[in-house]
Chain A
Amino acid sequence: MRELKDWSRSDIEDWLYSEAALLDEWRLPEWRQLFTEDARYLVPNMAGDPYAPPESTLYLISDDGHHLTERVKRLGKKTAHAEYPHSTTHRTISNVRFLGIGDGELKVSCNFTINRTSSQSGVIDTYFGRQEYKFVQADEKLLAREKRSILSIGALRPHGKLSIIL
């Protein structure tokens, strides 16, 4: 039986690269399977403390498991107009670091750059920052229980929206 401490950095890198591929390929229901049922997906407001509790401060995105599932459903519909037809995205992941194991969770951070080309205007927007994950062991698999995407772009200008999943 595999435990959290058995995962190497290259195992984690594989996980992150396949996650990025699923998002780039718009295979979102499969992507959702990489997360626990009760997973949280958080994008803190760039103007504030990225670790302030989402229950009492305004985030950009603060999905619980229910909302994350609904977000995936939304992005699968043709009526998710901001992303239909889908934009083209390329995610680059680097600087993967282990932050430690505690509370039954393996904590990892990495840097990300996402280039998104709008299907409508052809405009390219670049999102970059740091991802922080909390992984749990589920049978032989590693599932993310939390993904916190901390943007380093100051403001969503000129991006305007955060219609893709970071």
Chain B
Amino acid sequence: MNIAEAIRTEAAASRFQISRQAYTDPAVYQLEMDRIFSHCWLYVGHSTEIEKPGDFKTRTLADRSVIFLKDRNGSIRCFLNVCPHRGAQVCRLSEGNARSFSCIYHGWIFENTGKSLSIAEPETYPPNFGEGGRNDLVPVPRFEEYRGFWFVNFDRKAQSLRDYLGDACDYIDVIVDQAATEMHIVGKAQEYSARANWKLLAENSTDILHVEALHPTYLDLVATNSGGAMKRGKMLGKCVDLGNGHSVIERQATYGRPIAQWISLWGDDAKAEIDAIYDRLVKMYGEERAIRMARYSRNLLIFPNLVINDIMSITVRSFQPKAADYMEVNVWALAPKEEIGTPALERRLSNFLEFLGPGGFATPDDIEALESCQRAALSAREAPWNDLSKGFDPKSADKVGDTKDELPQRAFWRGWQARLLSTGA
């Protein structure tokens, strides 16, 4: 398909549309792997997942297997999981703790700093054979961190992570600063998938227009839990195009939040705790920012495939396209370290599971909707356009809108198109 024609706008009717072929065409998927996933910053993991020297996780980013680890000297590193000899995967475990890695094929061994420790029959090679680190593990081209979140970029010439995140940094700060200590990943990732194009999940993650239609069973649960105090209704807040394809919705929370909005289900003891948390935030950040941190929630999309949703709980979600119609999804729970071992964490995890994940009261219905869109997109020839016009004003810059506008989706697609059209990348 022609990328330049994938987005269609019609000023007279304030229409903004997307070609449905963009979800189904294998050639588009290939182009995305080349021009988006090989040039954008991709989230790999959180520093608290690898706390001790030797801790490692193997992860897949844009089809590349990588090893995310803390080396014997305490430095966090990331290597391509491929043996410099004849290309077997050096690490065959999904996680663990190791001072070194030895390849099963011919036995080459590597320190967790990436340095070659030994090769098979070294006496049969010339003495300068390993010079210049040519027998070492290959580090990912770029590897940078923002506030505990580590990202990889396969483009050596990419802009810095900080510049890439741009205005999204403030929203990450508002989340991370809620912790009195630091934010910590709790437990392991939920690993699931969807038989749908990855862009459908990107659109869905910053869409609250769908909540009442798609998630009434969740809203019923929330109403029961809060004794009816949490009502559906107009949500105060806004959505913002953060540039580079990133976007956010920030709005008043209509459910209990561990930091810091109490509901009756949690009991009176919890109320005192939650009030104290709120007071701490006011003291540290002033009332305006404290209200934002405590009583507002955020759906944040970092282009192309990272979502940090600070809603009834905090979830970090990344998704890996595997084909035009299939993606793998990994989801983590994030919590302030001071909550670990206290009832506060229990509330946070209960909030998480009520809504989120493959067994929640809402996420399965999201997946059902995405898969439904994917099947229907096969009618693209006769019914070619998806509509994302809500809140679209062709005369405005389209940078800030109401919470239920489709502005975050438009921001995503503009970022997508710009990347696919840039041949210089």
Contacts and interface: CB of A to CB of B under 8 A. Distances in A.
A43 interface: yes
A73 B221 CA distance: 9
A57 B149 CA distance: 20
Contacts of A45: 187-190
A156 B190 CA distance: 9
B193 A160 contact: yes
A121 interface: yes
A128 to B, nearest CB: 16
B372 to A, nearest CB: 7
B365 A155 contact: no
B297 to A, nearest CB: 19
Q: Give the interface SS of chain A, mostly helix, strand, loop or mixed.
A: loop
B368 A81 contact: yes
A157 B188 contact: no
Contacts of A62: 349-350, 353
Nearest to B265: A66
Interface string A92-129: 00000000000000000000000000001101000000
Interface stretch (B8-16, B354-362, B386-394): B354-362
B126 interface: no
Contacts of A4: none
B195 interface: yes
A80 interface: yes
Contacts of A155: 191-193, 328
A54 interface: yes
Nearest to B217: A74
A55 interface: yes
Interface residues of B, number: 44
Contacts of B420: none
B343 to A, nearest CB: 8
Nearest to B313: A58
B346 interface: yes
Interface in B326-372: 326, 328-329, 332-333, 340-341, 345-346, 349-350, 352-354, 357-359, 361, 363-365, 367-369, 371-372
Given A45-B190, A79-B216, A61 B364 contact: no
A58 to B, nearest CB: 4
A120 B374 CA distance: 12
Given A123-B195, A155-B192, A60 B220 contact: no
A159 B193 contact: yes
A82 interface: yes
Contact of A55 (B193, B329, B345, B359): B345
A47 B216 CA distance: 30
A11 B20 CA distance: 55
Contact of A56 (B189, B221, B340): B340
Contact of A58 (B188, B216, B329): B188
A79 B364 CA distance: 12
Contacts of B162: none
A5 to B, nearest CB: 34
B341 A47 contact: no
A61 B340 CA distance: 19
A67 interface: yes
Nearest to B333: A58
A158 B190 contact: no
A156 B329 CA distance: 10
B194 interface: yes
Contact of B359 (A54, A57, A61): A61
B244 to A, nearest CB: 29
Contacts of A161: 192, 358-359, 363-364, 367-368
B289 interface: no
Contacts of A47: 94, 188-191
Contacts of A123: 195
Interface string B203-232: 000000000001011001100100000000
A77 interface: yes
A18 interface: no
A35 B197 CA distance: 40
B358 A120 contact: no
Contacts of A77: 216-217, 220
A157 B328 CA distance: 8
Given A158-B195, A160-B192, A163-B364, A58 B345 contact: no
Q: Which 9 A-B pairs have the closest CB atoms?
A: A58-B187, A155-B191, A47-B188, A57-B187, A61-B359, A82-B364, A156-B192, A163-B364, A162-B359
Given A58-B188, A73-B217, A82-B367, 11 more contacts: A45-B188, A45-B190, A55-B345, A57-B349, A58-B352, A59-B353, A60-B359, A62-B349, A74-B221, A121-B195, A161-B363
16 contacts: A47-B191, A55-B346, A55-B349, A58-B352, A59-B353, A60-B359, A62-B349, A77-B217, A77-B220, A81-B214, A82-B364, A120-B368, A156-B358, A159-B193, A160-B358, A161-B192
Interface of A: 43, 45-48, 52, 54-62, 67, 70-71, 73-74, 77, 79-83, 120-121, 123, 154-163
